[in-house]
């Protein structure tokens, strides 16, 4: 018997063994499926029923990558996601052939001017330049590896001039002065991992003129890494500013106040995706995170629905005054609006008491979160394009608009969306999930599981290794710089020399029938003279 015959016999025996294993496994699974009592489909259709559950499990991925068209996916469509990625990775924001927007649908449009501004006419700080890394795409063949090179590029950062700089808390001892209108919304260390927070901090620091909100999880060393300005958020759980019993601690607050990067404080009353206290699963609460938040490690944390220290606007304003007086820094609040009545009551109390916030963050119901409940995320709280005008109108109505700055958030991830929000009354813009995408988020929708496959929304040290800080920080900077550039480009198209000049007269609303209504007329009926 020669070697060839031996190899044939061995191959036959190997195949027979594999076949036998498959048969035995199939019979075993058939028996298990027939006798189990949990899944009716498996009792009636053993084995084949397993194919159904397999397809159901991978269904989200199939829809995301194969079956949804470019504009169908949620929370962000593939088209929206790609626009963010291209800004971050390639520093590119150019499209070809034409828009994919459905122009038959209703929507907001920016009024263009017959005589737009030239680049040299724009009121823009062109002196500050930074160098970032961006990818240059050389070739994108179908079957072979994409060819791209990493190159350094120096560019302006497209900041406002000193004259147009936005001042929060102008009457405080230490006002917060901003030359950029876009910053990072509240994202806690714990909800995001240390690599993600560090990359975001360093990227925002590179781009300059921005800010980073700590989220209610408290201030971490990773928020401070990039030297970016910080808005420290204080939530109902008082994480980072409490004692071991969970009571508010002035000593802890004043210790944080010594950090120069902290420019303002924000009291979180609610968040768009969860108008309730925050939540973080125990598996994310490492010893380090527990130390920062002053809680027990490895135990799930639920913030109260509201601050125990106050339960109405007068007591809230009193607490704000105390923080402002002791720290010398601006104090704001983060809210979700459900109707015009809440906005009216807030503005009315500001007028009657002469007190209140230095800034109001209006979070739309379409905003994101690390963990929430479906019924809250879907149905509690108005989206930003409804909530923002209500707050702005109320402040105007009671004559207190000049005392407060408005920060808007809720899927404002592109220059045109930002321009519309500015026209509706916002002074500044918060962005969260788009910044997550710049550091690698693929919308796996597993933020609440600590199993984020790209190392963004996880504290698992092995998963976090996927996120390389030195590469992703430049993507964050590129995205922010490109967004500012686009915002100035829109201002120029509207005949404005700065995006701070956007008002309601610069936006129109088109309904399904093609009728056009100026924004100032759309909301004019909601504004009444204060009595």
The residue among 57, 73, 92 that closes a domain is 57
What burial class does residue 355 get, using C-beta atoms within 10 Å of its C-beta: 0-12 exposed, 13-18 middle, 19+ buried?
A: middle
Determine, yes or no, domain membership for 373.
Answer: yes
pLDDT of residue 531: 42
Q: Is the pLDDT of residue 530 over 50?
A: no
Mean of the pLDDT values across residues 263-284?
A: 79
348-399 pLDDT, tens digit per residue, is 999 999 999 999 999 988 777 766 667 776 767 789 999 999 999 999 999 9
Q: What is the number of other CB atoms lying within 10 angstroms of the CB of residue 385?
A: 19
User: Which pLDDT score, from 0 to 100, does residue 415 have?
Assistant: 96
Domain assignment present for 126: no
Residue with more model confidence, 140 or 315: 315
Residue 133 backbone phi and psi in degrees, to 5: -95, 135
* Contact by Cβ (8 Å): 409, 430: yes
Most confident of 29-38, 258-267, 374-383: 258-267
**Number of residues that make up the chain:** 531
32, 257, 371 from 205: Cα distances, Å:
58, 20, 28
Residue 122 lies in a domain: no
pLDDT of residue 3: 75
Over residues 465-480, mean pLDDT: 96
Quick one: average pLDDT of 135-152?
84
Q: How far apart are CA 32 and CA 43, in angstroms?
A: 9
| Residue 1 predicted with pLDDT over 90 | no
pLDDT of residue 529: 40
Confidence (pLDDT) at 282: 79
Distance from C-alpha of 167 to C-alpha of 289, rounded to nearest angstrom: 33
Q: What pLDDT score was predicted for residue 248?
A: 93
- Residue 8 belongs to domain spanning: 3-57
Mean pLDDT, all residues of the chain = 88
Peptide bond preceding 339: is omega within 30 degrees of 0, i.e. cis? no
- Does 207 score more than 70 pLDDT? yes
Residue 259 falls inside a structural domain: yes
Among 1-5, 239-243, 267-271, the minimum mean pLDDT is found in: 1-5
Q: Which residue has the tokens 């991978």?
A: 58
For residues 258-279, one letter each, b for 16 or more C-beta atoms within 10 angstroms of the residue's C-beta and e for the rest, the string is: eeebbbbbbbbbbbbbbbbbbb
Q: Same structural domain for residues 215 and 328?
A: yes
Q: Which of 221, 226, 319, 227 is nearest to 268 (CA)?
A: 319
Name the packing angle between helices 313-327 and 250-257 (round to 10°).
Answer: 50
Per-residue confidence at 187, pLDDT binned at 50, 70, 90?
Answer: very high
514 and 386 within one domain: yes
Half-sphere exposure of 442 (CA within 13 A, CB side): 12
Q: The tokens of 390 are what? A: 């209500």
Average pLDDT for residues 33-43, to the nearest whole number? 77
Question: Lowest-confidence range among 46-50, 278-282, 440-444?
Answer: 278-282
Residue 240: inside a domain: yes
Q: Percentage of residues in the chain with pLDDT exceeding 90?
A: 58
For the chain, the straight-line distance linking the first and the last C-alpha, in angstroms and rounded, comes to 108
244 occurs within a structural domain:
yes
CB 394 within 8 A of CB 409: no
pLDDT at 464: 94
Domain presence at residue 461? yes
pLDDT at 202 over 70: yes
Query: pLDDT tier at 273 (50, 70, 90 boundaries)?
Result: low
307 and 437 part of one domain: yes
| Residue appearing with tokens 């709280």 | 381
Overall number of domains in the chain: 2
Would 73 be classed as within a structural domain? no
Tell whether 393 and 279 lie within a shared domain: yes
Are 332 and 480 in the same domain? yes
Give the model's pLDDT for residue 130: 96
- Measure the CA–CA gap between 503 and 491, rounded to whole angstroms: 11
Structure tokens at 342: 């809440």
- The whole-number pLDDT of residue 305 equals 79
Alpha-carbon gap, residue 276 to 148, rounded angstroms: 45
Q: How far is CA 101 from CA 112, 210, 356, in A?
A: 18, 30, 41
CATH code for position 190: 3.20.20.70
Taking residues 67-78, report their average pLDDT: 75
Give SS3 for 493: helix
Residues whose CB falls within 8 Å of the CB of residue 431, separated by 6 or more in sequence, listed in order: 182, 183, 184, 185, 409, 412, 413
pLDDT for the residue numbered 276: 64
Selected residue with higher pLDDT from 399 and 287: 399
Most confident of 32-36, 74-78, 245-249: 245-249
DSSP, collapsed to helix, strand or coil, labels residue 298 as coil
Q: Does residue 38 carry a pLDDT above 80? A: no
Of 169, 182, 165, the closest CA to residue 263 belongs to 169
Residues 76 and 350: their CA atoms lie apart, in Å, by: 37
Instruction: Give the pLDDT confidence score for residue 208 in this predicted structure.
Output: 96
Task: Return the pLDDT at 370.
Answer: 63
pLDDT above 60: residue 51 = yes
Give the pLDDT confidence score for residue 49 in this predicted structure.
Answer: 79
Number of other residues whose CB lies within 10 A of the CB of residue 526: 15
């Amino acid at each position: 018997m020669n070697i060839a015959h031996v190899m044939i016999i061995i191959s036959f025996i190997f195949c027979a063994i594999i076949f036998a294993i498959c048969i035995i496994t199939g019979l075993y699974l058939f028996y298990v499926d027939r006798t189990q009592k949990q899944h009716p489909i498996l009792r009636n259709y053993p084995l084949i029923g397993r194919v159904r559950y397999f397809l159901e499990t991978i269904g989200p991925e199939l829809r995301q990558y194969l079956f949804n068209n470019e504009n169908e996916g949620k929370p962000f469509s593939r088209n929206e996601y790609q626009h963010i990625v291209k800004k971050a990775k390639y520093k590119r924001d150019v499209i070809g052939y034409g828009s994919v927007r459905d122009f038959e649908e209703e929507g907001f449009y920016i009024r263009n001017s017959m005589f737009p501004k030239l680049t040299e006419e724009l009121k823009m700080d062109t002196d500050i330049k930074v160098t970032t890394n961006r990818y240059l795409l050389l070739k994108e063949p179908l079957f072979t590896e994409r060819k791209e090179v990493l190159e350094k590029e120096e560019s302006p950062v497209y900041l406002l001039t000193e004259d147009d700089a936005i001042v929060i808390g102008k009457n405080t001892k230490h006002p917060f002065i901003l030359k950029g209108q876009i910053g990072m919304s509240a994202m806690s260390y714990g909800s995001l991992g240390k690599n993600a927070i560090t990359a975001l901090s360093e990227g925002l620091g590179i781009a300059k003129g921005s800010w980073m909100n700590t989220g209610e999880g408290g201030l971490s060393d990773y928020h401070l890494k990039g030297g970016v300005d910080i808005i420290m958020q204080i939530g109902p759980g008082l994480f980072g500013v409490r004692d071991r019993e969970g009571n508010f601690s002035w000593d802890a607050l004043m210790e944080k106040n010594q950090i120069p990067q902290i420019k303002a404080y924000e009291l979180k009353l609610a968040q768009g995706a969860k108008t309730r206290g925050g939540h973080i699963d125990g598996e994310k609460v490492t010893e380090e995170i527990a130390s920062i938040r002053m809680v027990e490690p490895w135990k799930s944390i639920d913030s109260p629905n509201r601050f125990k220290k106050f339960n109405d606007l007068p007591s809230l304003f009193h607490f704000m005054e105390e923080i402002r007086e002791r720290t010398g820094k601006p104090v704001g609040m983060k809210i979700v609006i459900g109707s015009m009545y809440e906005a009216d009551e807030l503005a009315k109390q500001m007028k009657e008491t002469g007190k209140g916030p230095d800034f109001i963050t209006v979070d739309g119901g379409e905003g994101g979160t690390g963990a929430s409940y479906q019924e809250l995320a879907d149905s509690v709280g108005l989206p930003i394009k409804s909530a923002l005008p209500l707050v702005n109108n109320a402040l105007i109505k009671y004559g207190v608009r000049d005392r407060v700055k408005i920060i808007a958030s809720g899927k404002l991830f592109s220059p045109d969306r930002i321009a519309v929000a500015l026209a509706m009354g916002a002074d500044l813009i918060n962005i969260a999930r788009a910044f997550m995408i710049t550091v690698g988020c693929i919308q796996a929708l597993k933020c609440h599981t600590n199993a984020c496959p790209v190392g963004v929304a996880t504290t698992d040290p092995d998963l976090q290794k996927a996120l390389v800080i030195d590469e992703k920080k430049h993507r964050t900077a590129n995205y922010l710089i490109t967004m500012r550039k686009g915002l100035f480009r829109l201002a120029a198209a509207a005949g404005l020399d700065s995006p701070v000049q956007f008002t309601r007269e610069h936006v129109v609303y088109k309904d399904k029938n093609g009728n056009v209504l100026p924004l100032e007329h759309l909301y004019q009926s909601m504004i009444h003279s204060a009595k």
